[in-house]
């Protein structure tokens, strides 16, 4: 098909050479090639899911773009089997078929010509005729070919439902060859198992497949979805029954009675737990089964530790004269209580107190394990105390080993004292696993700042423990002279008290006022990539951009894209891979957003992309702790870029310089005191806020909502009984 790029309607069959840009709304820009037509650019949302190497039949209109020149605005896109030798070679060598790179693709196409794809499809045993293809590689190619065909068929199916084809490979990665059956029989199974598929997407598939609007299957899925959203978005462990019924009924536009019947059915199936509200027997609440089980297990674990007789070899110790009075109380409490909490704001000496506690226990002949929820927090704890520290995940992973003829080795969790720093980051799941691993008689000291944001995951463990009077605790309030000179510390304490910091600031804290969100975004990027590095004579990697929101001109997605293009742009001849609206390149700063015990990486760690291999369909990363992990292209939704990150994901970390936008886009719903306080305290030398004074005032004065949790009540009843 030969078409000249003249203004007006056109139909073109072309191969995708390279993705240029993919927006969050799936608007895609790609460089294309076609026989008889010079290389051109195609763009439009219809291109969503296109991958380099594919051949597409495009229907649209030509126009002239000031940057790209002749451009095809695509209104309709259909995937077709490549038919020319060049298109087949591009398809096979693009990485779409795992195990085939450009050289091998050239060899295969040189041998079989235009019949190449027919041979792979109908006579795959003939692949061994090509040099460097033995039985093992031939089997790998056949398997990858079958997978690619299945994904392509899924794309067509999803487009028929009006669903983004970008989800096809994610669905196949989870359900494999069962994917068509899941879509046909129970699309609600996709929710929670396939990242990017929420209730609305699964519901659209179900309704178009003939599932009745009032189906019990549909309404039960809505109930579970509202519980999951409340947990993932707001950190709740339960919802009041009336609120859950109203939310689910609104979601499916059905009567409340049908939703209540669905709750009863889920209760009978033991997928939810309905009980009296904590501390308010007159109200009824609903838990997802796993949240209820974890909350009950954490209560039992803490009760066991609290009631146990200490095994710490306690004896008289010399008091450290450098300690303030409240620090001495904290040391004594940690040595005499099997469960205790140490809190305090910046500059109050929490880390020094922990150091003295750990040294004292060691001097008594006891053992100490220092931990924190993230690698950066553990590294910072080690630097501040001068003692080794590890992440909670790594501590839990180091189970006792048994070698032939030897006794079990001692687990780090079995130390006489386990200290968990940045304990506000502990969610319900991690706290439950942590407390289960500590033997009775060992001491657990939780250290944190109760005014910081709660954990990303559901629950509010530290705050709940501080509400239980039986749990011993000390709050450090004395700000030491050295910290008093820090503008960051001064600003943080004013924010915590609900007062606006002195503006524009000095000595480590600075506020720069700008109104327009686009101007704010550009100023943040300039400060992070040029102004601060130049003035401070540092690398841009010493500056971290933190964002209160994900969306909008000043959200993590858009700012992260701008920063990546400034710091690590596309380079000719260097491999890259687009996964949805994110492009991965060697040198990118990334962050795992899920715990992956098989890979040895955990939520919140930071890492650098060290390799992108389209033939192997792999991205390799190296964490700041030196761990190397590989992600297949289908697993890349477990990584996020770390050029601009949310304040929540910055918890436990400290950066030399922090730059952050403070604007009230979308009503500024995320601007709250705890978020601003956490943001400011992430900086070690300077924090620069850019935005509107009104938004800053809003953040200072707005207090966040309390999460729905039952831990404090359960624990108070258990320990008081």
The C-alpha angle 412, 417, 418, rounded to 5 degrees, equals: 55
Helices (H) and strands (E) in the chain, counts: 25, 26
| CA nearest neighbour of 299 among 135, 169, 126, 459 | 459
Task: Give, in order, the Cα–Cα distances in Å from 450 to each of 190, 244, 440, 463, 694.
Answer: 37, 29, 26, 6, 26
CA pair distance 446, 534, nearest whole angstrom: 40
> Residue 424, annotated ligand binder?
no
Pair 672, 703: CB distance under 8 Å: yes
| CA nearest neighbour of 442 among 330, 520, 340, 536 | 340
> Residue 347, annotated ligand binder?
yes
Q: What are phi and psi of 559, to 5 degrees?
A: -65, -40
Joined tokens for residue 457: 């995951």
Residue located via tokens 């840009």? 21
Residue 417, strand partner residues: 368, 443
Kindly provide the b/e burial profile for residues 457-467, where b requires at least 16 CB atoms within 10 angstroms of the residue's own CB.
bbbbbbbbbbe
What is the SS3 assignment for 418? strand
What is the SS3 assignment for 61? strand
Residue 607, strand partner residues: 590, 623
CA pair distance 284, 653, nearest whole angstrom: 39
CA pair distance 56, 211, nearest whole angstrom: 33
| Peptide linkage before 694 cis (omega within 30 of 0) | no
Q: What is the 3-state secondary structure (H, E, C) of 320-349?
A: CCCCCHHHHHHHHHHHHCCEEEEEECCCCC
Q: CB 226: neighbour CB atoms within 10 A? A: 23
> Residue 348, annotated ligand binder?
yes
DSSP string, 596-656: BTTTTB-TT--EEEEEEETTTTEEEEEETTS-EEEEEGGGGGGEEE-SEEETGGGTT--EE
Residue 9, strand partner residues: 61
Per this entry, what is the length of the chain? Answer: 721
CA pair distance 344, 511, nearest whole angstrom: 25
CA pair distance 555, 309, nearest whole angstrom: 50
Pair 570, 561: CB distance under 8 Å: no
Q: β-strands 473-476, 339-344: how paired?
A: parallel
Which residue positions form the known binding site for ATP?
347-351
Which residue positions form the known binding site?
347-351
């Amino acid at each position: 098909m030969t078409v000249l790029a003249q203004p007006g309607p056109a139909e073109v069959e072309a191969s995708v050479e390279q993705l240029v840009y993919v927006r969050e709304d799936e608007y895609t820009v790609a460089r294309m090639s076609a026989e008889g037509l010079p290389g051109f650019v195609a763009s439009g949302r219809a291109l969503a899911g296109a991958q380099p190497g594919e051949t597409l039949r495009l229907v649209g209109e030509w126009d002239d773009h000031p940057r790209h020149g002749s451009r095809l605005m695509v209104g309709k896109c259909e995937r077709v089997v490549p038919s020319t030798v060049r298109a087949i070679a591009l398809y096979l060598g693009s990485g779409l078929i795992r195990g085939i790179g450009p050289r091998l693709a050239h060899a295969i196409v040189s041998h079989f010509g235009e019949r190449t794809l027919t041979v792979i499809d109908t006579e795959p045993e003939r692949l061994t005729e090509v040099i460097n293809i033995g039985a093992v590689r031939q089997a790998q190619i056949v398997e990858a070919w079958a997978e690619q065909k299945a994904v392509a068929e899924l794309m067509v199916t999803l487009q028929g439902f009006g669903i983004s084809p970008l989800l096809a490979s994610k669905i196949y990665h989870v359900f494999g060859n069962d994917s068509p059956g899941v879509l046909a029989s129970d699309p609600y199974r996709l929710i929670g198992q396939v990242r990017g598929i929420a209730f609305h997407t699964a519901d659209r598939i179900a309704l178009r497949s003939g599932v009745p609007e009032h189906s019990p299957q549909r309404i039960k899925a809505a109930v579970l979805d509202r519980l999951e959203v409340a947990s993932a978005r707001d950190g709740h462990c339960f919802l009041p029954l009336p609120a859950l019924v109203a939310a689910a009924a609104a979601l499916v536009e059905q009567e409340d009675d049908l939703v209540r019947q669905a709750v009863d059915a889920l209760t009978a199936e033991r997928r939810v737990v309905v009980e009296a509200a904590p501390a308010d027997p007159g109200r009824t609440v609903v838990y997802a089964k796993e949240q209820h089980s974890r909350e009950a297990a954490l209560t039992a674990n803490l009760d066991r530790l609290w009631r146990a007789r200490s095994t710490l070899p306690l004896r008289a110790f010399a008091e450290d004269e450098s300690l303030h009075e409240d620090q001495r109380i904290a040391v004594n409490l940690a040595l005499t209580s099997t469960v205790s909490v140490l809190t305090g704001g910046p500059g109050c000496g929490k880390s020094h107190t922990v150091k003295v506690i750990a040294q004292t226990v060691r001097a008594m002949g006891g053992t100490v394990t220092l931990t924190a929820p993230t690698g950066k927090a553990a590294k910072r704890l080690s630097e501040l105390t001068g003692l080794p520290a590890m992440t909670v995940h790594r501590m839990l992973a180091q189970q006792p080993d048994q070698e032939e003829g030897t006794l079990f080795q001692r687990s780090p969790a079995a130390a006489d004292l386990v200290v968990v720093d940045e304990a506000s980051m502990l969610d319900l799941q991690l706290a439950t696993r942590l407390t289960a691993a500590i033997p009775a008689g060992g001491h657990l000291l939780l250290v944190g700042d109760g005014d910081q944001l709660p954990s990303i995951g559901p629950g509010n463990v530290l705050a709940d423990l501080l509400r239980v009077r039986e749990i011993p605790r000390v709050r450090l309030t004395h700000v030491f002279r050295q910290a008093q000179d820090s503008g960051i510390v001064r600003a943080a304490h004013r924010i915590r008290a609900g007062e606006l910091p002195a503006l524009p600031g000095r000595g480590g804290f600075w506020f720069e006022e700008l109104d327009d969100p686009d101007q704010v975004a550009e100023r943040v990027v300039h400060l992070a990539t040029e102004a601060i590095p130049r003035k401070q004579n540092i690398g841009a990697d010493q500056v971290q951009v933190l964002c209160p929101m994900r969306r909008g001109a000043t959200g993590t997605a858009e700012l992260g894209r701008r920063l990546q293009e400034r710091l690590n742009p596309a380079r000719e001849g260097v491999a890259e891979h687009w996964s949805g609206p994110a492009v991965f390149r060697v040198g990118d700063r990334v962050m795992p957003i899920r715990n992956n015990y098989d890979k040895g990486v955990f939520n919140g760690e930071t890492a650098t992309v060290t390799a992108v291999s389209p033939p192997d369909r792999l991205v390799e990363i190296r964490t700041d702790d030196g761990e190397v992990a590989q992600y297949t292209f289908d697993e890349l939704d477990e990584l996020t870029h770390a050029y601009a990150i949310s304040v929540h994901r910055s918890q436990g970390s400290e950066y030399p310089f922090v730059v952050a936008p403070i604007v009230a886009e979308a009503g500024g719903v995320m601007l709250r005191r705890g978020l601003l306080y956490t943001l400011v305290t992430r900086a070690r030398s300077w924090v620069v806020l850019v935005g509107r004074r009104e938004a800053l005032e809003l953040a200072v004065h707005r207090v966040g909502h309390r999460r729905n949790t039952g831990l404090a009540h359960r624990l108070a009843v258990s320990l008081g009984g």
